[in-house]
Amino acid sequence: MTKKTLSFQAEVAQLLHLVTHSLYSNKEIFLRELISNASDACDKLRYEAINDSGLYEDAPTLEVRVSFDPAAKTLTITDTGIGMSAQEAIDHLGTIAKSGTKDFVSKLSGDQKADSQLIGQFGVGFYSGFIVADKITVESRRAGMKASEGVRWISGGAGDFEVETIERAARGTSVTLHLRDDALDYASAWKLKSIIAKYSDHISLPILMEKEEWKDGELINPSDEKGGRQPGGMVKTGEWETVNKGNAIWARAKKDITSEQYTEFYKQISHDFEAPLAYTHNRVEGSTEYTQLLYLPSKAPMDLFNREKSAGVKLYVKRVFIMDDAEALLPTYLRFVKGVVDSADLPLNVSRELLQESRDVKAIREGCTKRVLGMLEDLAKNDKLPAAAADGASATVSDPSTVVTDVLSETDKAEALANVGKYSKFYAEFGAVLKEGLGEDYANKDRLAQLLRFASSSTDTVSVSFADYKARMKDGQEAIYYITADTPAAAKNSPQLEVFKKKGIEVLLMTDRVDEWALNYLQDFDGTPLQSVAKGAVDLGKLQDDAEKKAAEEAAETFKPLLAKLKEALKDKAEDVRVTTRLVDSPACLVVQDHGMSTQLARMLKQAGQAAPDVKPVLEVNAEHPLVKKLDGSVHFNDLAHILFDQALLAEGGLPADPAAYVKRVNALLV
């Protein structure tokens, strides 16, 4: 065939404009695409050669070579794959998303079709070369065709391309990019090797580049050693070396991978100096097939609470790197998880950079979420391993957070002992983020509730689970009681806990900023309701005897006139004033109505610059406190009423609306 000029399909012309201007966010991705295409061509040859070994001709080696020429401003990617005929070059390079792969797969059926899943789709990755090149030359010959039936395809990325028949002895394809002046740094061994290591390190074929060595410059005057030299530089040696590892750790059998290798891979992908707390490695088969290798870090990053930051696992398709931070594959509350997901058939958009929402994406997301929660459950189970079990004896413990086990094998014992304390370490770093899942992941809400840990009025350590609490509930106790506060000290010393301390009722102390928001989505645990001690009237049910109830009713009746005066004095601050039974030593406290927004949450929203309603709390007073008794008939009633309210506000971590007025009132009374 003599040289002829043909026009691109209209869609290709549009695509080329898109590619060169906005399709790829990162220029260096072009090399990933071209190497991926070269690998696909070799995979296709390997498959076709199953039935026709003659396609290998006299060159059985399948490989990809990357070479460059700074003087000529070119970069060439050559493969020994299936190659193209002249007509295939016209069809595949001139028509969008038509590479022959789709036609090839459509001809297969049964087991052949399943086996061919290793062969990737060409898509439009070829055109990404125009990001860095103002002209691309493709030379190719299809396996099994004559040397005289090679083809050369040339285009400047405009509206047309040239194609002609050439003599080509080698099977396969060479893609030569004529680099733009602003892309000449891609004609550098260091640059190319770094890109290959980043994107294509796990391609199963060898990727070769020519070795270079330093050569001193020539003497300016050969007869004068001291006369100076021309500048030296790196020169090619003629030898080729493999620059990719060609061995994806996640594609290997777990029995062939050591814990040290898992750790080294984690450090490589996460840039973390510490070993991970745990990892899970699984191949998932079924309607959606993928491999997952997921890690739990030991330390939280500085930007953990920046929900806008890109986060997620690395996505590969058939061991070809597609993107970092594939957030679609894990929910936001698991943004700390590191690792790799490698899919055989995940749908991607035209640039391979953005995942399409699909059934496959949803299946992978759900599968990865379940695996991560499973890892956490295993760590939590072994967080407080009983000493008896560690010694190999039969052990049964009453604390539900500890593992209840029969005699452990040596292997299981070693693994369990290795995990002691790991969940506590994890929770200290990531517990607050995990709580976000209560509002984001309804399907796994109950599993997440099992994983939460808190401090309580009975312990200072953040180690109490809902199951722990429930196991320790008093006879007749009908709710899990908790309090939210800005700090552990504010929670533990809150006046609202006084009656609970008096009766020995444990209260969970919640001091993470996310707590109150998250608990809006969790009304009960295992059938037992959760009750904030700062919301609604305190009702201890069977834990309060008849005498106490009668005394409270009598006090409320006796104090009716005083409560009415307090309500009038504080009408701008308090929604209501009532006698309480929750106080023992303090004169007053603030609560909100059931299901209302707490004053603490309202403060946090305002501090974050978000709209929040003006919350008017309920003032509850202790009828037995001397200060409350002194109110009746006091000439300073109005000042005392405001001081009572402001002190209750201070006790829960708030500030008086008018601090100067508060100080003035206190000073006046002191004088």
Query: 320 near 344, Cβ under 8 Å?
Result: no
Burial status of residue 668 (CB atoms within 10 A of its CB: 0-12, 13-18, 19 or more): exposed
Lookup: tokens for 315: 């996505």
Both 395 and 288 in a single domain?
A: no
pLDDT at 360 over 50: yes
Both 479 and 362 in a single domain?
A: no
| Enclosing H/E stretch for 190 | helix 189-199
Residue 217: closest CA among 228, 230, 203: 230
Q: Residues 446-499: pLDDT tens digits?
A: 999 999 999 999 888 888 999 999 999 988 888 899 998 888 888 888 888 888
CB atoms within 10 A of CB 206: 17
Could you give the CA distance from residue 166 to residue 168 in angstroms, rounded to a whole number?
6
Could you give the CA distance from residue 482 to residue 497 in angstroms, rounded to a whole number?
9
Q: Of 395, 420, 445, which one is at a domain's C-terminal end?
A: 420
Could you give the CA distance from residue 421 to residue 433 in angstroms, rounded to a whole number?
19
H-helix segments, 301-420 = 359-381, 387-390, 410-419
User: According to the model, what pLDDT value does residue 124 have?
Assistant: 56
Residue % of the chain over a pLDDT of 90:
33
Is residue 315 helix, strand or coil?
Answer: strand
User: According to the model, what pLDDT value does residue 114 have?
Assistant: 38
Could you give the CA distance from residue 436 to residue 448 in angstroms, rounded to a whole number?
10
CA 343, 347, 349, 350 torsion: positive or negative?
positive
Place of tokens 């021309």: 230
Burial status of residue 576 (CB atoms within 10 A of its CB: 0-12, 13-18, 19 or more): middle
Mean pLDDT of 653-658: 84
Q: Of 242, 277, 306, which one is at a domain's C-terminal end?
A: 242
Task: Point out which residues pair with 162 in neighbouring strands.
Answer: 5, 154
Both 199 and 272 in a single domain?
A: no
Query: 242 near 208, Cβ under 8 Å?
Result: yes
Both 198 and 150 in a single domain?
A: yes
Q: Residues 274-316: pLDDT tens digits?
A: 899 999 999 998 888 899 999 999 988 877 777 666 677 888 8
Both 392 and 540 in a single domain?
A: no
Residue 108 lies in a domain: yes
User: According to the model, what pLDDT value does residue 118 have?
Assistant: 28
Residue with the bigger pLDDT between 16 and 565: it is 565
Q: Which residues constitute the domain of residue 187?
A: 4-218+233-242
Q: Say which CATH number the domain at 101 has.
A: 3.30.565.10
Residue 330: closest CA among 419, 433, 449, 203: 433
pLDDT at 665 over 70: yes
Both 276 and 409 in a single domain?
A: no
Both 267 and 238 in a single domain?
A: no
Could you give the CA distance from residue 142 to residue 161 in angstroms, rounded to a whole number?
20
Residue with the bigger pLDDT between 93 and 644: it is 644
User: According to the model, what pLDDT value does residue 617 have?
Assistant: 86
Query: 296 near 337, Cβ under 8 Å?
Result: yes
Could you give the CA distance from residue 540 to residue 79 in angstroms, rounded to a whole number?
77
What is the β-pairing status of strands 313-317 and 338-343?
parallel
The gap from C-alpha 4 to its chain's centroid, in whole angstroms, comes to: 52
Lookup: tokens for 637: 């009633």
Q: Say which CATH number the domain at 651 has.
A: 3.40.50.11260
Residue 112 lies in a domain: yes
Q: Say which CATH number the domain at 281 has.
A: 3.30.230.80
H-helix segments, 462-525 = 466-472, 488-492, 498-502, 515-519
Could you give the CA distance from residue 120 to residue 342 in angstroms, rounded to a whole number?
13
User: According to the model, what pLDDT value does residue 160 have?
Assistant: 85
User: According to the model, what pLDDT value does residue 409 have?
Assistant: 56
pLDDT at 508 over 90: yes
Both 347 and 285 in a single domain?
A: yes
Q: At what angle do helices 560-569 and 546-558 cross, to 10 degrees?
A: 60
pLDDT at 600 over 70: no
Residue with the bigger pLDDT between 342 and 2: it is 342
Q: Residue 118 contacts by C-beta under 8 Å, 6 or more apart in sequence?
A: 43, 47, 318, 344
Residue with the bigger pLDDT between 25 and 456: it is 456
- Number of domains the chain contains: 4
Is residue 141 helix, strand or coil?
Answer: strand
Both 377 and 391 in a single domain?
A: no
Question: Which pLDDT band, with edges at 50, 70 and 90, does 66 fall under?
Answer: very high
User: According to the model, what pLDDT value does residue 336 have?
Assistant: 92
User: According to the model, what pLDDT value does residue 606 have?
Assistant: 62
For the chain, the first-to-last Cα distance in angstroms comes to 110
Local structure of residue 53 (DSSP, 8 states): G
Residue 109 lies in a domain: yes
Question: Which pLDDT band, with edges at 50, 70 and 90, does 323 fall under?
Answer: confident
Question: Which pLDDT band, with edges at 50, 70 and 90, does 154 fall under?
Answer: very high
Residue with the bigger pLDDT between 199 and 471: it is 471
Residue 586: closest CA among 545, 535, 635, 645: 645
User: According to the model, what pLDDT value does residue 143 have?
Assistant: 95
Task: Provide φ and ψ at 637, rounded to 5°.
Answer: -55, -50
Q: At what angle do helices 637-651 and 659-670 cross, to 10 degrees?
A: 120
pLDDT at 67 over 90: yes
Could you give the CA distance from residue 126 to residue 153 in angstroms, rounded to a whole number?
13
Q: Residues 361-403: pLDDT tens digits?
A: 888 899 999 999 999 999 998 876 554 344 443 333 334 333 3
Q: What is the mean pLDDT of the chain?
A: 81
Both 412 and 470 in a single domain?
A: no
Place of tokens 């190719």: 140
Residue 427 lies in a domain: no
Least confident segment among 2-16, 235-249, 269-283, 319-333: 2-16
pTM for the model: 0.68
Sheet holding 320-326, edge to edge: 278-284, 290-296, 338-343, 313-317, 320-326
Could you give the CA distance from residue 610 to residue 600 in angstroms, rounded to a whole number?
14
Residue 224 lies in a domain: no
Lookup: tokens for 135: 């002209």
Question: Which pLDDT band, with edges at 50, 70 and 90, does 516 fall under?
Answer: confident
User: According to the model, what pLDDT value does residue 492 have?
Assistant: 87
Residue % of the chain over a pLDDT of 70:
77
Local structure of residue 541 (DSSP, 8 states): G
Q: Of 381, 410, 445, which one is at a domain's C-terminal end?
A: 381
Distances (CA, A) of 656 to 569, 585, 652: 16, 22, 11
Residue 521 lies in a domain: yes
Residue 436 lies in a domain: no
pLDDT at 97 over 50: no
Distances (CA, A) of 86 to 42, 94, 120: 19, 12, 22
The gap from C-alpha 512 to its chain's centroid, in whole angstroms, comes to: 20
Could you give the CA distance from residue 276 to residue 418 in angstroms, rounded to a whole number?
13
Both 466 and 579 in a single domain?
A: yes
Residue 403: closest CA among 428, 379, 424, 374: 379
User: According to the model, what pLDDT value does residue 227 have?
Assistant: 65
Least confident segment among 461-470, 593-602, 625-634: 593-602
Question: Which pLDDT band, with edges at 50, 70 and 90, does 223 fall under?
Answer: low
Residue 432 lies in a domain: no
pLDDT at 149 over 80: yes
Residue with the bigger pLDDT between 312 and 643: it is 643
Local structure of residue 23 (DSSP, 8 states): I
Both 306 and 416 in a single domain?
A: no
